[in-house]
Every structure is written in C-alpha cells, then in structure tokens.
C-alpha cells in the first residue's frame, strides 16, 4: 500500500509498488500471451513441419514455403486477394466519400445515410446468404439486368471466375460503404467551415472546391479509411467461405479461405500454417509500406 | 422547395435513388423470409407474400440446423466474453496508466499487441490445444477464446480513457485511505461507464458475427455459434428452401443490427477519449 502523500512531489510519481500493480496487469497479459502470442509462435513452428493433426509434427524445413510458389491454388488465392484489395479499396471508399460529401451539413443528412448504414452491423455470413440468393441464375439481380435491357439475366454469377469474385466484391461493398461514409463525415467535421466558405466566396466551383479544398483536408481520415480497407480485404474470409467455399474448384479462393481449406479440409496443418504466415507477412508489409508512403507524401507536401 | 434550387433537388434525388437501391437486398430478404416455403416458386421473389410464413420458416431452419441452440449459446458467448474482456482490459488500463508501473508502455504493448495477429495464425494451435485440453466443442472453450480476442481493444480504449482522468482523483482516493481495488471498482469503473459500454457493444457485435473461430473450435448444434450454423444451413448440402435459409439469416442477423443501431449514441460519447477531464 502506498503511503499517503499530502502533495505530489514529482510530475510522474510511481504511485504503487510493482507487486501491487501486477494483479491489475497480469490477467490481460496472461490471457493474451496464452491465447495469442503462444499460438502465433506455434503456427510459425508448424509451418516448417509436415503435420496432419495426428501424431507429432515432422520437421520439414522450408518445404511448405517452396510449395507455396508452385501451387496453382496459391496463384489463384493471391490473384483473388489482390482483386479483393483493389475492389474493396476503390468501390466502398469512393462511394462512402461521395455520400459523405453529398449529405454533409444537409438537413436530415443522417436519415439519408441510414439505408447505407443498415448492412454494416450484419455479419459476413448474413451478407453471403442475402447475396447468394440475389445472385442466383435467373434471380433478382438477373431480373434487374433484364429490366434494364442488359444481357446476362440468366448468368450463374457464382459459377465462373472472374464473375464470382467480382460479384462477392460488390456484396462486400454493399456492406462496407456505410461505415466509410460515416468515417468521412467525422473527417469532414474536422474541416473548418470558414475554409469551405472562403473557397466559395472566391468563386470556386463545386468540383474545384471538392478536389482542391475538401479532399486535401480529408487526407488524415482518408489514410485511416483506406488503411482499414486494405487490412480488412487482405483477410477476406466469411463472404467467400459461405458463398462459394472458394470454388468452383479453387477459382474464387483467397489467402484466408485457402488457409482454412488446406488446414481443415485437406488436413495439411503445416501447409495451412505456411499460408497463414504468408498472409501475416503480406498484411504486415502492406501496412508498413502504406503508412511509410503516406508519411512521406505528407512530409513532401509540407 | 424553391429554395433548394436545381442542384439541391438533384442532390436529393440522387441520394434517395441510391438509398432505395441500397434497401433492395433488405426488401428481398424480408419479403422472401416471410413468404411460406411452399409459396416460393423461384420467380416470384419481388412480390409481397400472400400469407405470413416467417415463424414456420424459422421452425424449419431450427430443425435443419439447430438454430435455437446456436442462438442461445451465441448469446452466452457474446455477453459473457465482452463482459470479462472489458473488466480485464479495464484492470490493465488502470494498472498501466494510473498506477504507472515501471515501463508502462511496454506492458500496454504486450496486452494490445495481440490485436495485430491475423486470426489465421491462431487457428491451428488453438484447434490442436483445445482437442488436447478437452476444450474443443465446449462453451467454456469458446468463452475463453472470445474473451482473449476482445482483451486488446478493451485494454486500448480503457488505457486511453483512464489516461485522461485527472490524477488528483487517484490522489484524493489515496488520501481517504481507499485501497487500490476500492479505487478501481468504486471510482474508476463508474467514471468509465460510457467507454465500457461502447467497447462492450463493439465486441458483442464482433463475437455475434464471428464465423471463423466458431467453425474451427466447435461442431455440435448446441455449442456451435449461430454464424457457422447459418453457413451450414446455406450450403448446398443443407437442402433447405430459400425462404428457410433467409429466415435463418434474419434471426441470426437481427440482434447485432438492433443493438448497434440502438447504441449508436454511445459511440460518440464513450469513445471520446478525454471527456472525463471536463467532468
């Protein structure tokens, strides 16, 4: 127990003895170490072994990693993950930005935004169920195409690549647009009204104002939104697993679904772990590169 | 509406059209989940159902995939785990930012660092360890894993929150002779109420919507959470009709959507990190 002090002596007094502090910090540290750090390290180890869940893992060197580069399924997984990142960054971010700019400061703005927010709290599995139904051959999506006179009304969207992956990217954009819009609205709230008004007084056209004033001021929030989109889409699993299980064959698989099916369908734990390590490295590199580039661009502008 | 001018009218028209387009999938979901299974022809998905078959469809979904058991266990996981995680995270946040041990940032990073690992890195070891420890396909096993997954965010938010609490609050409690436990439970936890609720709701949503860990660590109808149950209902082998699958989708999706929309105002309040300084 710390002794009573009548006046603080130093700006950062160490207020409790280490033994008194430990019970507060220990539960969090123990839980996280036991269920996250140790599994993480064990996955790294398993990725260098051959292991099917029975018996003991057998040391296999870098064989799993060599296989990664010769496996046509991995080529598809990497290609599709790239499509997911590109589509997931462009479509919902641009739509979210557009909606935010259109509704910001408008009377009843939150009501106009509500339809876009409704899907946000839904699960990937729920989204997959709805869109799996809509995208059936001759389903609701086909009906809309027919109504608009666009060919493809009886296409089986999920049965062929690249339609399958593109259709799932659209389903995911339907979910993600609303929250991006909300984040951009928060970003716009940080833009001083005076700046926008000054641009208007100077006679800036709406588009010029958007490109020259609004976008640069939204930069900090754009960095956050795009960063979240990159990291989120790299790990795409739920929608793909429920809609196509990565199929037909493995044509619509992603890194995350390939990891799951190699591990728990094909029982190749070691190879699955190697895919997980690859996913970790890709996610880490993408985040680091992205942040570094953003910092450099930010510094160059100053 | 003359004041709006053409640009204002156009803007509203675009927003309303886009909003309606966004609601089409929800319309299709509701209309066809309500439609009696036998009345679904495969081409009448746009029309309103002539009679109300939602409950019947939910009952069929329950028979096909044990939805009721999944819902009950999911409710258990997504309430108990965030509650535990919020307390564990608050303890760590209090320990790190109020008690100021040696190297507080290091300990914080240990607790928070787990958040950066992709879930895929945890699956195989957890699956193997759970099988050996008899935690596979048990409710306690899922509560434990969801709690651990929820701790980093709780630690982050509560550390920042307690960091914004004026230190004289702690000093006053010490002068009054309160123990560290009393100070934590009676003074700091009540002050952090809105942050605790905000984190709880985010994690409730996350756990309710989880597919991956439920798929990996459970198998039976009564233990498996609701999203893996929905996935099995959806799979082609399930043999369920579309109204049944969609009814299952509605039942599984509704709780987090309702909770999230109802609790929106908490986020603005609870996640404003230094609001206590003004209180």
Rounded Cα gap, residues B19 and A94, in angstroms: 16
Q: Which of A40, A126, A260 sits opposite B121 (nearest CB)?
A: A40
Range of the domain at A145: 65-301
Q: Confidence class of residue B20 from pLDDT cuts 50, 70 and 90?
A: very high
**Mean pLDDT across chain B:** 88
Tens of pLDDT, residues A235-251: 999 999 999 998 798 99
In terms of domains, do B191 and B82 share one? yes
The verdict on a CB contact (< 8 Å) between A25 and B11 is no
Query: Residue A301 has which token pair?
Result: 């502008």
What sign does the dihedral A25-A29-A31-A34 (CA atoms) show? Answer: negative
In terms of domains, do B71 and B182 share one? yes
Which residues does residue B216 pair with via DSSP β-bridges, in sequence order?
none
Backbone angles phi, psi at A59, to 5 degrees: -60, 130
In terms of domains, do B44 and B67 share one? no
Q: How distant is the Cα of A104 from the closest Cα of chain B, in angstroms?
A: 12
Range of the domain at B24: 2-53
State the average pLDDT over residues A169-184.
93
Q: What is the pLDDT of residue B241?
A: 86
- Asked if the structure places residue A247 within a domain, the reply is yes
State the average pLDDT over residues A64-73.
93
- Asked if the structure places residue A27 within a domain, the reply is no
Tens of pLDDT, residues B50-67: 889 899 898 888 888 888
Interface of A with B in 87-126 (CB under 8 A): 99, 102-103, 106, 112, 114-126
Q: How distant is the Cα of A254 from the closest Cα of chain B, in angstroms?
A: 12
Which of B34, B53, B72 marks a domain boundary? B53
In terms of domains, do B139 and B250 share one? yes
Interface of B with A in 207-236 (CB under 8 A): 208-212, 215-216, 227-228, 230-231, 234-235
State the average pLDDT over residues A190-206.
76
State the average pLDDT over residues B9-19.
92
Q: What is the pLDDT of residue A139?
A: 84
- Residue A233, C-beta contacts closer than 8 angstroms, at least 6 positions apart: A81, A84, A85, A87, A88, A89, A172
Whether chain B has a CB inside 8 Å of the CB on A13: the answer is yes
Whether chain A has a CB inside 8 Å of the CB on B71: the answer is no
In terms of domains, do B14 and B152 share one? no
Tens of pLDDT, residues A270-294: 999 999 999 999 999 998 888 887 7
Contacts of B16 in chain A (CB under 8 A): 112
Query: Residue B272 has which token pair?
Result: 């404003």
The verdict on a CB contact (< 8 Å) between A123 and B227 is yes
DSSP letter at B185 equals: I
The angle at the Cα of B235, spanning A176 to A175, to the nearest 5 degrees, equals 5
Q: What is the pLDDT of residue A278?
A: 96
Which of B53, B72, B91 marks a domain boundary? B53
Q: What is the DSSP string of A258-293?
A: HHHIIIIIS--HHHHHHHHHHHHHHHHHHHHHHHHH
State the average pLDDT over residues A112-117.
90
State the average pLDDT over residues B145-155.
95
Query: Residue B160 has which token pair?
Result: 């920042």
Q: Confidence class of residue A108 from pLDDT cuts 50, 70 and 90?
A: confident
Q: Which of A15, A112, A272 sits opposite B100 (nearest CB)?
A: A15
Q: Confidence class of residue B184 from pLDDT cuts 50, 70 and 90?
A: very high
Least confident among A276-285, B30-39, B70-79, B96-105: B96-105
Q: What is the pLDDT of residue A81?
A: 96
Whether chain A has a CB inside 8 Å of the CB on B1: the answer is no
Number of alpha carbons in the 13 Å side-chain half-sphere of residue B231 = 25
Q: What is the pLDDT of residue A1?
A: 41
Q: What is the CATH number of the domain that holds B265?
A: 1.10.3720.10
A/B interface, count of CB pairs below 8 Å = 267
- Asked if the structure places residue A34 within a domain, the reply is no
Tens of pLDDT, residues A87-98: 998 999 999 999
Q: What is the CATH number of the domain that holds A278?
A: 1.10.3720.10
- Does residue A224 contact residue A230 with C-beta atoms inside 8 Å? no
- Does residue B81 contact residue B200 with C-beta atoms inside 8 Å? no
Q: Confidence class of residue B1 from pLDDT cuts 50, 70 and 90?
A: very low
Contacts of B45 in chain A (CB under 8 A): 133, 139-140, 143
Query: Residue A68 has which token pair?
Result: 């990664």
Taking 60 as the threshold, does the pLDDT of residue A4 lie above it? no
- What burial class does residue A264 get, using C-beta atoms within 10 Å of its C-beta: 0-12 exposed, 13-18 middle, 19+ buried? middle
In terms of domains, do B132 and B9 share one? no
Contacts of A34 in chain B (CB under 8 A): 148
Q: Which of B24, B120, B146 would you mutate first to test chain A, the one with the most A CBs within 10 A?
A: B120
In terms of domains, do B130 and B98 share one? yes
In terms of domains, do B11 and B69 share one? no
The verdict on a CB contact (< 8 Å) between A238 and B32 is no
pTM of the predicted protein model: 0.88
Q: Confidence class of residue B49 from pLDDT cuts 50, 70 and 90?
A: confident
Whether chain A has a CB inside 8 Å of the CB on B191: the answer is no
- Asked if the structure places residue A50 within a domain, the reply is no
List, in sequence order, the alpha helices (H) in chain A.
Answer: 18-32, 38-46, 63-68, 72-103, 109-117, 124-134, 140-147, 163-189, 193-201, 206-209, 215-217, 219-234, 238-243, 255-260, 269-301
Q: What is the pLDDT of residue A125?
A: 94
Query: Residue A185 has which token pair?
Result: 């609205």
Of the candidates A203, A206, A212, A123, which has an alpha carbon nearest to the alpha carbon of residue A171? A123
State the average pLDDT over residues B250-262.
90
In terms of domains, do B49 and B64 share one? no
Tens of pLDDT, residues B186-241: 999 999 988 899 899 999 999 999 999 999 999 998 899 999 999 988 886 667 88
- Does residue B96 contact residue A25 with C-beta atoms inside 8 Å? yes
Q: What is the pLDDT of residue B270?
A: 55
- Does residue B105 contact residue B98 with C-beta atoms inside 8 Å? no
In terms of domains, do B77 and B175 share one? yes
In terms of domains, do B226 and B242 share one? yes
Of the candidates A118, A247, A48, which has an alpha carbon nearest to the alpha carbon of residue B29? A118
Rounded Cα gap, residues A177 and A127, in angstroms: 13
Contacts of B42 in chain A (CB under 8 A): 138
**Mean pLDDT across chain A:** 87
Contacts of B127 in chain A (CB under 8 A): 53, 264
The verdict on a CB contact (< 8 Å) between B29 and A130 is yes
The verdict on a CB contact (< 8 Å) between A130 and B242 is no
Contacts of B111 in chain A (CB under 8 A): 25, 28-29, 32
Taking 70 as the threshold, does the pLDDT of residue B256 lie above it? yes
Q: How many domains does chain A have?
A: 1
The verdict on a CB contact (< 8 Å) between A112 and B261 is no
Rounded Cα gap, residues A253 and B148, in angstroms: 28
Q: Where does chain A show beta strands of DSSP type E? A: 49-50, 58-59
- Asked if the structure places residue A212 within a domain, the reply is yes
Q: What is the pLDDT of residue A194?
A: 81
Report for A17-31, A131-145, A188-202, B12-26: range of highest mean pLDDT: B12-26
Tens of pLDDT, residues B116-141: 889 999 999 999 999 999 999 999 99
In terms of domains, do B78 and B216 share one? yes
- Does residue A253 contact residue A240 with C-beta atoms inside 8 Å? yes
Q: How many domains does chain B have?
A: 2
DSSP letter at B2 equals: G
């Amino acid at each position: 127990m710390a002794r009573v002090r009548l006046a603080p002596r130093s700006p950062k007094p160490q207020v409790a003895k280490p033994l008194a502090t430990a019970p507060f910090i220990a539960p969090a540290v123990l839980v996280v170490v036991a269920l996250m750090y140790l599994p993480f390290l064990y996955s790294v180890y398993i990725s260098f072994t051959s292991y099917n869940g029975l018996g003991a893992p057998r040391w296999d060197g870098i064989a799993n990693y060599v296989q990664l580069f010769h496996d046509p399924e991995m080529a598809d997984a990497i290609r599709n993950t790239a499509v997911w990142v590109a589509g997931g960054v462009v479509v919902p971010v641009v739509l979210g930005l557009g909606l935010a700019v259109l509704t910001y400061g408008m009377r009843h703005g939150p009501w106009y935004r509500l339809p876009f927010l409704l899907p946000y709290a839904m699960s990937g599995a729920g989204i997959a169920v709805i869109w799996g139904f809509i995208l059936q051959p001759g389903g609701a999506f086909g009906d809309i195409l027919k109504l608009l006179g666009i060919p493809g009304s009886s296409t089986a969207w999920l049965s062929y690549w690249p339609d399958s992956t593109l259709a799932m990217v659209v389903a995911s954009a339907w979910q993600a647009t609303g929250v991006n819009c909300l984040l951009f609205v928060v970003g716009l709230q940080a833009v001083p009204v005076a700046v926008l008004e000054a641009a208007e007084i100077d006679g800036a056209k709406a588009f010029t104002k958007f490109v020259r004033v609004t976008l640069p001021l939204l930069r900090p929030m754009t960095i956050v939104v795009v960063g979240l989109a990159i990291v989120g889409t790299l790990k795409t699993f739920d929608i793909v697993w429920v809609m196509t299980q990565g199929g037909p064959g493995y044509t619509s698989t992603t890194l995350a679904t390939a990891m799951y099916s190699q591990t728990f369908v094909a029982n190749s734990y070691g190879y699955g772990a190697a895919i997980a390590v690859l996913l970790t490295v890709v996610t880490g590199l993408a985040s680091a590169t992205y942040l570094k580039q953003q910092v450099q661009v930010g510094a160059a502008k100053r | 509406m003359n004041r709006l001018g053409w640009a204002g009218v156009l803007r509203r028209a675009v927003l309303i059209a886009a909003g309606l387009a966004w609601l089409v999938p929800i319309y299709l979901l509701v209309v066809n989940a309500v439609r009696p299974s036998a009345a679904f022809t495969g081409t009448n998905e746009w029309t309103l159902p002539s009679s109300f078959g939602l409950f019947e469809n939910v009952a069929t979904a329950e028979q096909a995939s044990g939805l009721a058991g999944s819902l009950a266990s999911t409710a258990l996981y997504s309430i108990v785990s965030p509650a535990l995680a919020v307390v564990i995270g608050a303890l760590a946040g209090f320990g790190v930012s109020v008690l100021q041990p040696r190297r507080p940032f290091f300990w914080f990073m240990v607790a928070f660092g787990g958040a950066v690992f992709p879930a895929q890195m945890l699956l195989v070891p957890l699956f193997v360890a759970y099988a050996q420890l008899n935690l596979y396909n048990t409710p306690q096993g899922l509560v434990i894993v969801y709690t651990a997954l929820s701790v980093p965010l709780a630690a982050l938010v509560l550390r920042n929150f307690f960091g914004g609490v004026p230190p004289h609050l702690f000093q006053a409690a010490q002068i009054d002779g309160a123990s560290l436990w009393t100070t934590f439970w009676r003074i700091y936890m009540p002050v952090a109420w809105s942050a605790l609720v905000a984190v709880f709701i985010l994690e409730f949503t996350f756990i309710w919507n989880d597919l991956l860990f439920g798929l990996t660590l459970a198998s039976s109808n009564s233990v498996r959470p609701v999203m893996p149950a929905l996935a099995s209902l959806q799979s082609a082998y399930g043999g369920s009709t579309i109204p049944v699958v969609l009814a299952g989708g509605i039942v599984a999706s509704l709780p987090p959507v309702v909770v999230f929309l109802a609790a929106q105002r908490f986020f603005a309040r609870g996640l404003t990190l230094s609001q206590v300084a003004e209180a």
